[in-house]
């Protein structure tokens, strides 16, 4: 039995649909949610949301927010979120290099947490973009071989 998932950002409704399972970066680590899950409310870390659908997975980079789980529905209010296909890899790579450079230049200690968060966001974006691209080429291969 599928579970309903809504993903909302301050700008838009990013996703609304039914999935077999959703995994997301909860306060206590990556968690998998199936229909019938016990109700809970959690903050979201910087990490990956995976929508497991019958015909494939969708990957979304999320940077903070909250999630409400009910047995038949998951509502994600994301501070910032990008689906794999909307991620600009060059921008993420530039942000990663910028953060690495600032860290290498001995920043004031009070700046380090924000620089680390920037590093995590940009490396997450690169990972999610690659996972999305991998999925695309995999289905392309199946198509080519007639399967």
If the CB atoms of residues 63 and 74 are measured against ligand ATP, the closer one turns out to be: 63
Residue 91 found at the interface with ligand ATP (CB under 6 A): yes
Residue 96 found at the interface with ligand ATP (CB under 6 A): no
Residues 21, 31: contact at Cβ < 8 Å?
no
Backbone angles phi, psi at 43, to 5 degrees: -80, 165
From 17-25, 27-35, 43-51, 85-93, give the range in contact with ligand ATP by CB under 6 A. 85-93
Please state, in angstroms and as integers, the Cα–Cα distance from residue 112 to each residue in 91, 99, 119, following that order: 21, 10, 10
Residue 37 found at the interface with ligand ATP (CB under 6 A): no
> Could you say which of 26, 33, 51, 63 contacts ligand ATP (CB under 6 A)?
63
Residue 87 found at the interface with ligand ATP (CB under 6 A): yes
Cα four-point dihedral sign 15, 16, 22, 28? positive
* C-alpha Rg value of the chain to the nearest Å: 17
Distance CA 10, CA 88 (A): 20
Residue 44 found at the interface with ligand ATP (CB under 6 A): no
Residues 116, 96: contact at Cβ < 8 Å?
no
Residues 34, 21: contact at Cβ < 8 Å?
yes
> Could you say which of 27, 41, 43, 88 contacts ligand ATP (CB under 6 A)?
88
CB of 2 to ligand ATP, least distance (A): 27
Residues contributing to the site for ligand ATP (CB under 6 A): 63, 80, 82, 86-88, 91-92, 95, 118, 121, 125
């Amino acid at each position: 039995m599928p579970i309903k998932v809504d993903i909302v950002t301050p700008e838009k409704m990013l996703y609304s649909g039914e999935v077999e399972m959703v995994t997301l970066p909860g306060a206590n680590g990556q968690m998998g949610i199936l229909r019938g899950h016990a109700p809970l409310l959690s903050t979201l870390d910087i990490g990956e949301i995976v929508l497991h659908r019958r015909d494939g997975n969708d990957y979304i980079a999320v940077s903070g927010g909250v999630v409400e789980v009910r047995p038949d529905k998951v509502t994600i209010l994301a501070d910032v979120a990008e689906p794999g296909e909307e991620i600009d890899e060059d921008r993420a790579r530039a942000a990663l290099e910028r953060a690495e450079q600032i860290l290498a230049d001995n920043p004031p200690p009070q700046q380090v947490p924000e620089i680390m968060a920037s590093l995590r966001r940009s490396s997450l974006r690169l990972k999610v973009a690659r996972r999305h691209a991998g999925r695309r080429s995999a289905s392309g291969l199946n198509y080519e071989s007639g399967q």
